[in-house]
Amino acid sequence: MLRIAVQAKGRLYDETMSFLEEADIKLSATKRTLLVQSSNFPIEVLFLRDDDIPQTVATGVADIGIVGENEFVERAEDAEIVKRLGFSKCRLSLAMPKDIEYTGVQWFEGKKIATSYPGILSRYLKEQQVKAEIHVITGSVEVSPGIGLADAIFDIVSSGSTLVSNRLKEVEVVMKSEALLIGNKNLSDEKKEILKELLFRMDAVKTAEDKKYVLMNAPKDKLDEIVAVLPGMKSPTVMPLAQEGWCSVHTVLDEKCFWEIIGKLKALGAEGILVLPIEKMII
């Protein structure tokens, strides 16, 4: 049984849950308890505050965990990054009152900076050879300059709207962050096997995400040209149609080049083009 630590509620919760769901890992729908077992996969889910996830994984209380990179780097716990998950993207930035002129990173010299990330901030200031006072608070960081608690802040920024509503401006981006799958460094072989199966399922979902299954009716006399336009995984499937002179062509297209290819197919006389989402894809 593999134990995964995930955030009990907050910004990471929804995407973490849909991630497990897409990998067909079913959790009992009973009231949310701290520890829930899957009914169809050898995994149990431990719900925690995100602050505690790195340590829980590093010490082996959980085998793997899903946590923001910002929190993982700040905690500096001895666990490894298994996979970058690509959601909950944000950045850790220095911000200051918007009406004051910013003169470069030296502006922070001697200033008081409020943050929940003292580790990352002090390392950055040291690198920049700036001496500043770090004031640690656990939440509502953005209000601190407005109430005279600090001169500036170091916090998470995504759209920037929290900064704007607190009359602050982002002046230095210190690190980018996304959700990470982290793992204990000493997993048993059995647990490594379960993790491998989990990653395999996650990859199948990810690969499918930006692909579409496309079906169309094609005039037989244009078939060679149509096939030449389609990248496909191998070659497209071609099936005869009841109507003389026509066939049905099935293939998989990358979302990125989708519109360009559809345009070419139409120009070559393809009709009745159907585009279907793909749930999972194993290459």
Ligand X SMILES: Nc1ncnc2c1ncn2[C@@H]1O[C@H](COP(=O)(O)OP(=O)(O)OP(=O)(O)O)[C@@H](O)[C@H]1O
Residues that bind ligand X (CB under 6 A): 7, 10-12, 49-51, 68, 70-71, 88, 90, 156, 158, 177
Residue 68, contacted partner among ligand X, Mg ion, ligand PRP, none, CB below 5-8 A by kind: ligand X
Q: Which two tokens stand for residue 155?
A: 């916090």
The answer to the question of residue 27 lying near ligand PRP (CB under 6 A) is no
Residue with tokens 């393809």: 270
The answer to the question of residue 161 lying near ligand PRP (CB under 6 A) is yes
Closer residue to Mg ion in complex, CB, 48/204: 48
Which residue, 15, 14, 40, is CA-closest to 27?
40
Closer residue to Mg ion in complex, CB, 50/151: 50
Stretch that binds Mg ion, among 14-22, 46-54, 97-105, 168-176 (CB under 5 A): 46-54
The answer to the question of residue 155 lying near Mg ion (CB under 5 A) is no
Looking at beta carbons, which residue is closest to ligand X? Answer: 68
The answer to the question of residue 11 lying near ligand PRP (CB under 6 A) is yes
The answer to the question of residue 138 lying near ligand PRP (CB under 6 A) is no
Cβ within 8 Å of residue 275, ≥6 positions away: 212, 213, 214, 258
Q: Which of 18, 59, 158, 237 binds ligand PRP (CB under 6 A)?
A: 158
64 Cα distance to chain centroid = 16
Q: What is the DSSP string of 108-157?
A: GTT-EEEES-HHHHHHHHHHTT---EEEE-SS-GGGTTTTTS-SEEEEEE
> Helix 13-22 to helix 189-209 angle, to the nearest 10 degrees?
100
The answer to the question of residue 139 lying near ligand PRP (CB under 6 A) is yes
Closer residue to ligand PRP in complex, CB, 94/195: 94
Closer residue to ligand X in complex, CB, 25/163: 163
The answer to the question of residue 150 lying near ligand PRP (CB under 6 A) is no
User: How many Å apart are CA 29 and CA 31, to the nearest integer?
Assistant: 7
In degrees and rounded to multiples of 5, residue 251 shows phi and psi of -160, 175
